[in-house]
Amino acid sequence: MTPKPGRAVSEVARRDVWREASPPMTGARALAAIDVGTNSVHMVIARPVPGGSPEILARERVPVRLGTGGDDMKLLMPDAVERAVTALVEFRHIADAHDADVVAVATSAVREADNQGRFLRRVHDEARITVEVVSGMEEARLIHLGAMSAVPIAGRPHIVIDIGGGSTELIVGDYAPAALARSLKLGHIRLTDRFFDGGVIADGAVKACRRHIKSFVAHVAGEARDIGFEVAVGCSGTIAAVAALCAARRGETLRTVANATIERADLNEVVADLISRPTPGERAGVPGLDPARRDVIVAGAILLRQLFKALGIESLVVSTGALREGLLLDRFNRRDRSRDDGLHHLSDLRRSSVLALARSYHEDLIHAEHATDLALELFDETGAAHGLTIADSELLEAAGLLHNIGRFVANSSHHKHSYYLIRNSERLAGFSENELELIALVARYHRKSRPVSSHREYTALSKPDRRRVRVLAGLLRVGIALDRTYRRAVERVHASVSEEAVTIDVEIAAGTDVDIELFTARRSANLLADALRRTVDFRVVETNPERRRRNHPANGPGDANPRGLRA
């Protein structure tokens, strides 16, 4: 598919994307966005500007090669960990000098590492930075936001390609959220470790590498072509490096790779030149090649060429916006929304992806939403006992809406099937890896067995997260039980909390029979009672019709939540 010529890049067009994320600017604090990648750690510090692009205060990059150590990336090597921690300590000092808040995410290498917990604790203790490990889906979403901030593609059918050290993200759409977002376990370091050890090209290695890439790319490339796109955009270091090589072959020296283009014919020549030089030392003479990339550029360039071929791309424009710029956008947008209005619930993005997943498995949303609403009301009413945050209520809402999707597989043990479907979904946008694990576990424990030490996924959690799962699953069990007959007979719940007990008032219309709901709720309340260290009891409160009309406007399944959505 040949991308159509794009409109001239304009600062006005780029500002349109940033404007939505710009908060009220009276004394707005700067924000440092850190990307802990497979090849490098990056930081950009910016201050939001009213109606325009953020003011960039600093950019930092330190190569750390966290992903080095084998193509399976199951362990972070000690020397790589030392390099990363040292860099992040320095980043913390720089952020403090700018009086900036810090947000950090980690991608493929940390996401896949069995020893990620030890690394994250060291970073927290030594650099005072809490790193959020993002899913491949969330990584793709943030990359898409970042790319749209630097190249005026919003509103035009486009594909964004980001080649990292451990993974490659492909995003197709015209606006956010994207129509297609995929994260593939293909990256320049992963491919180098597997096919070009030490950057050396052995006999048959190029052919084997191409065959391997094709096996990963064929299906998603077909999906992308079916959706269609007019313009191709590439971001991150590998693509920027290839753009510099293409320019050098034309006798040009790029002052910046922003909006540079990679033509298919130039790319073919670059790849042919690189593979004719079998060792990193021989690549020292390649014009425009960064010495730090001599060992990994072959794998990255071959991967990009295979993507051009599979997707039918003839020309690609380079975006300087990627994951960390998308992270800035996302956090500026969140900062713009009040956290003091008493409303929790999922953001539009999160909620739409949760509902889409539920519908794809034919979930009964009328029951799921009502049971979840009751559980969320209990969350609010029992705050003095559980002490959890608004962010935790979002996990409860997502788990509640998805708790029954396992029935698509089988009714028997459907709670376990729900765990698997949630945990392995590539369609839940806006959640970190840890959040997805917690959501899946809360859904898994909505019935049958309580969390016990023999459950490997549960015991792998930190102690605070294990408590979150117990509390949220306990609340969800009660919410589900109070809609046991699927009649929405229980309209609302209220709770009073003392040091010894939680008393739940079950609000119903006068004359409504809720014996089954109450019987089921009392049987289901043990997990909540243990989690809150209090007894749990129920009593019925009848309401008159006039109050019901005031407090319960009609709302269909899947409608925007009447209590409001968190940004």
300-343 pLDDT tens trace:
999 999 999 999 999 999 999 999 999 998 888 877 653 333 33
Give tens-digit pLDDT for 25-72: 335 789 999 999 999 999 999 998 776 668 889 999 999 999 865 556
Question: Higher pLDDT residue, 6 or 189?
Answer: 189
Give tens-digit pLDDT for 393-410: 999 999 999 999 999 999
| Strand order, beta sheet including 490-497 | 490-497, 501-509, 535-543
Give CA separation, 175 vs 20, 52, 128, 155, 156, in Å: 13, 19, 36, 6, 8
Q: In this model, does residue 513 exceed pLDDT 60?
A: yes
Domains along the chain?
11-133 (3.30.420.40), 137-325 (3.30.420.150), 348-551 (1.10.3210.10)
| Strand order, beta sheet including 101-106 | 52-63, 40-49, 31-36, 101-106, 131-133
For residues 46 and 32, give the distance between their C-alpha atoms in angstroms, rounded to a whole number: 7
Average pLDDT over residues 534-549: 78
For residues 437 and 538, give the distance between their C-alpha atoms in angstroms, rounded to a whole number: 31
Cis amide bond preceding 152, omega within 30? no
Q: The tokens of 564 are what?
A: 């409001």
Give CA separation, 292 vs 286, 318, 401, in Å: 13, 20, 48
Q: In this model, does residue 360 exceed pLDDT 80?
A: yes
Secondary structure (3-state) at 189:
helix
Residue 517 — φ and ψ, nearest 5°?
-60, -45
Are the C-beta atoms of 320 and 235 separated by less than 8 Å? Answer: yes
Residue 148 makes CB contacts below 8 A (sequence gap 6+) with 17, 154, 176, 321
With bands split at pLDDT 50, 70 and 90, how would you rate the model's confidence at 363? confident
Give tens-digit pLDDT for 203-213: 999 999 999 99
Average pLDDT over residues 412-427: 90
Q: In this model, does residue 223 exceed pLDDT 50?
A: yes
Q: In this model, does residue 12 exceed pLDDT 60?
A: no
Q: In this model, does residue 287 exceed pLDDT 50?
A: yes
Q: In this model, does residue 563 exceed pLDDT 60?
A: no
Q: In this model, does residue 218 exceed pLDDT 60?
A: yes
Question: How many residues are present in the chain?
Answer: 567
Helices (H), 98-174: 108-112, 116-122, 136-150
Q: In this model, does residue 6 exceed pLDDT 50?
A: no
The pTM is what?
0.70
Are the C-beta atoms of 394 and 350 separated by less than 8 Å? Answer: yes
Helix (H) or strand (E) holding 360: helix 348-360
Identity at 149, one-letter amino acid code = S
pLDDT of residue 74: 85
With bands split at pLDDT 50, 70 and 90, how would you rate the model's confidence at 414? very high
Q: How many helices (H) and strands (E) does the chain have?
A: 22, 14
Tell me what percent of the residues of the chain surpass a pLDDT of 90.
72
For residues 477 and 482, give the distance between their C-alpha atoms in angstroms, rounded to a whole number: 9
Give tens-digit pLDDT for 430-487: 788 889 999 999 999 999 999 998 999 999 999 999 999 999 999 999 999 999 999 9
Are the C-beta atoms of 201 and 286 separated by less than 8 Å? Answer: no
For residues 326 and 157, give the distance between their C-alpha atoms in angstroms, rounded to a whole number: 19
Burial of 204 from C-beta contacts in 10 A (0-12 / 13-18 / 19+): exposed
Angle between helices 433-444 and 463-481 (to 10 degrees): 40
Mean of the per-residue pLDDT values of the chain: 87
Q: Is the dihedral of CA 362, 366, 371, 376 positive or negative?
A: positive
Nearest by Cα to 35 from 99, 110, 128? 110
